[in-house]
């Protein structure tokens, strides 16, 4: 996810990184060529009355803008819900880490607390990799034992399996008298919250906006853009291609942004910075455990909101 300090108004006109313009350039260039062709054959079109009244495009454009606004609102709601879930993940893992340090009855349980915190960090990275369909082995190698890693190899829902290990840690601590019943309930409450977070993320990832709705809007936007030259060729002449491309950029870009935000856990520039958020959670949990950390940014993402 790219979060940058806003430049002045003039520099923002030429902003490239994080913009959807690079992926739209081939489509806009094709529309520009098509508009040039329409202008070139202007006399033929006017002779056979093949132009269209521009007023129609005004009315239709307003309706299309409303539909695109609705589509963007739906996509941003999914993006923001994903961000809230990962914000809750930060809070709940901090609470669990604190409980593992402060609620134990003896002072010689630092190793057990460290094991619990490592499992929490592994849980966070497992969730990130599940949502992005990436390989978690590199993170598991440094966070969990080889035995547990081997157990997780053939498990699809790895975060839930690690959540089970966290529950078993709590059960063992209660059986050995290191925590009492009230502490166990406190642990279980926060573990249930982690389960809810996983379910919420899975709901977003597995339930996209209905495809037929996206197809309808996509077709309408592009048909509208490619019919536009027929409405303005009579009045604008050779300026038509430039005006058409500018209008089309607005509509096509809005659709592209909505598509990008619809899946907030992906790897596109404007998706959630899961690498950075996972690293931040790891750092804050290690610091809670008294370990010295070095704050650093993720290699392939920018800033954490």
The reply to whether 198 falls in a domain is yes
Instruction: Look at residue 298 and give its three-state secondary structure.
Output: coil
Q: What's the mean per-residue pLDDT of the chain? A: 87
The reply to whether 5 falls in a domain is no
- Residues of the domain holding 131: 24-42+51-288
Number of structural domains, the chain?
1
The reply to whether 134 falls in a domain is yes
The reply to whether 118 falls in a domain is yes
The reply to whether 18 falls in a domain is no
The pTM of the full predicted model, rounded to 2 decimals, is 0.86
Residue count of the chain, please give it. Answer: 305
The reply to whether 297 falls in a domain is no
pLDDT reading at 108 higher than 70: no
Q: With beta carbons less than 8 A apart as the criterion, state whether 35 and 229 touch.
A: yes
- pLDDT 10s digits, 150-209: 999 989 999 999 999 999 999 999 998 888 899 999 999 999 999 999 999 999 999 988
The reply to whether 9 falls in a domain is no
Of the chain, the end-to-end C-alpha distance in Å amounts to 9
- pLDDT 10s digits, 4-32: 666 666 677 777 777 888 889 999 999 99
Whole-number Å distance between alpha carbons of 297 and 61: 43
The reply to whether 293 falls in a domain is no
């Amino acid at each position: 996810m790219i979060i940058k300090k806003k430049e002045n108004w003039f520099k923002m006109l030429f902003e490239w990184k994080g913009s959807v313009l690079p992926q739209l350039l081939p489509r806009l260039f094709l529309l520009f060529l098509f508009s040039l062709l329409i202008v070139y054959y202007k006399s033929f079109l006017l002779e056979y009355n093949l132009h269209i009244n521009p007023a129609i495009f005004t009315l239709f454009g307003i309706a299309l803008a409303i539909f695109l606004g609705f589509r963007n609102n739906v996509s941003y709601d999914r993006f923001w819900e994903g961000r809230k879930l990962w914000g809750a993940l930060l809070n709940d893992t901090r609470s669990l880490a604190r409980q593992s340090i402060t609620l134990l009855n003896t002072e010689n349980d630092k190793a057990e607390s460290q094991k619990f915190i490592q499992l929490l960090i592994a849980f966070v990275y497992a969730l990130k990799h599940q949502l992005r369909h990436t390989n978690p082995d590199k993170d598991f190698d440094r966070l969990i034992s080889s035995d547990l890693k081997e157990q997780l190899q053939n498990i699809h829902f790895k975060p839930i399996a690690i959540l089970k290990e966290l529950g078993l840690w709590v059960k063992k601590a209660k059986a050995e008298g290191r925590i009492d019943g009230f502490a166990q309930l406190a642990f279980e409450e926060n573990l249930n919250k982690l389960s809810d977070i996983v379910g919420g993320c899975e709901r977003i990832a597995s339930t996209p906006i209905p495809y037929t709705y996206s197809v309808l809007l996509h077709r309408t936007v592009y048909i509208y853009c490619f019919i536009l030259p027929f409405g303005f060729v009579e009045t604008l002449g050779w300026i038509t291609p430039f005006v058409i491309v500018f209008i089309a950029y607005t509509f096509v870009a809005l659709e592209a942004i909505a598509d990008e935000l619809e899946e907030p856990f992906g790897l596109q520039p404007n998706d959630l910075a899961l690498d950075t958020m996972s690293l931040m959670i790891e750092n804050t949990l290690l610091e809670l455990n008294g370990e010295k950390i070095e704050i650093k940014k993720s290699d392939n993402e920018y800033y954490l909101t």
